[in-house]
Amino acid sequence: MGQFIVSGPGAEAFLNRVLTNNITNLQPGQGQYTLLLNGLGGVIDDLIAYRTSEREFYLVVNASRIDADWSHLETQLNKDDEVMMANASDFTAGLAIQGPKAREVAAAVFGSAASFPEHNTILVTMTSDGPMWLCGTGYTGEEGFEFFMPMETAETWFRKIVDAVKAAGGTPCGLGARDTLRLEMGYPLNGNDLSETRTPLQAGLGYFVDLDKGEFTGREALVAQKAAGLPDKLAAFRMTGAAPPPRPHYPVAFAGEIIGEVCSGTQSPSLGTGIGMAYVPLSAATIGSTLEIEIRGRRFPAEVVKKPFYRKPSL
């Protein structure tokens, strides 16, 4: 991930002018999922913006988009904005602890007296191993937390965390596991499901766009698109028979015609079937409509389903 610190008397107004969600809703210590758009309403990045104090914000962006985000933010900044921006990405590391035993791990690592980072919160704290940005967020659909720290302290933290995770019966894992978890939740991934040529409305992220908060980059395009009607929409589909796992870029057909391609696709470990997402015309996007995924020249049936694909049964 990348980390930007945006501060100053004008930070709130500036971020509200470049991000889609309404940042004025955040109290110090709170965070929100939000999007950075270009002038045409296309998605440059999706990110979490946390308010660390009245005049300071911590942005966690996708690592692959650090340069694109940073240069876009610089072009949006005016001289009289009274905003300072710092890019901490090169010297910050991050770890995410996700899963039903995240509370147990947090208590083991931070002490049982420490409070668990609740959903969408941030706590900037000083520890004997240096400063830490402790966040009640993640991209798995599980309870959990993530934290960011100076790179030099990351190994110490990693070892502590892995010991605690193993003691709780967990295991270290990487982006492959994160990817199946986020897709089972129907969370989009930038580069697969989000791009500079499609808007958050097409991606089904309207909930994170506040068109009523005032002007922001891309707003006009979104308002126009809403009035004209969406050309297509990110639909979730599930393979209905025995089929290979759908993978990115496989052609998608509706009523016999190729209408698009798979954006994200995988075998869902929880469901035991292939799942994926694709941009399809609205006529094909209704729940229950039949799509076909073309895999090595053969078409396999799939059904448009509601997101999330999978929700863990509550205990």
Partner 1 sequence: MSNVPENLRYRDSHEWIDPTQSPSPVGITDHAQAELTDVVFVDPPKVGTQVTAGQQVCVIESVKAASDIYAPVSGEIVAINEALTGDPGLLNRDPYAGGWIFKIQSSNLAEFEALMDAAAYSKHIA
Report the interface residues with partner 1, using CB under 8 A: 176, 180, 242-245, 247, 266-267, 269, 274, 296
Minimum distance of partner 1 from residue 176's CB (angstroms): 8
Nearer residue to partner 1 within complex by CB, 120 or 273: 273
Minimum distance of partner 1 from residue 293's CB (angstroms): 12
Token pair of 201, please?
């409305």
Nearer residue to partner 1 within complex by CB, 159 or 298: 298
Is omega for the bond preceding 308 within 30 degrees of 0, making it cis?
A: yes
Minimum distance of partner 1 from residue 240's CB (angstroms): 14
Nearer residue to partner 1 within complex by CB, 20 or 140: 140
Nearer residue to partner 1 within complex by CB, 168 or 275: 275
Closest of 267, 263, 262 to residue 293, by C-alpha: 262
Minimum distance of partner 1 from residue 298's CB (angstroms): 8
Nearer residue to partner 1 within complex by CB, 218 or 274: 274
Question: Which residues, at least 6 apart from 78, have a Cβ–Cβ distance to it below 8 Å?
Answer: none
Minimum distance of partner 1 from residue 77's CB (angstroms): 43
Minimum distance of partner 1 from residue 264's CB (angstroms): 14
Q: Burial, 191: exposed, middle or buried (Cβ in 10 Å; 0-12, 13-18, 19+)? A: middle
Nearer residue to partner 1 within complex by CB, 176 or 256: 176
How many Cβ atoms are within 10 Å of 5's Cβ, its own excluded? 17
Find the DSSP H helices in the chain: 11-18, 66-76, 102-110, 154-167, 175-184, 219-228
Nearer residue to partner 1 within complex by CB, 49 or 295: 295
Distances (CA, A) of 263 to 41, 194, 276, 278: 19, 9, 7, 5
How many Cβ atoms are within 10 Å of 132's Cβ, its own excluded? 18
Minimum distance of partner 1 from residue 308's CB (angstroms): 19
Sheet of strand 2-7, all strands in order from the earlier edge strand to the far edge:
30-37, 43-53, 56-61, 2-7, 84-87
Give yes or no for a contact between 51 and 247, defined as CB atoms under 8 angstroms apart. Answer: no
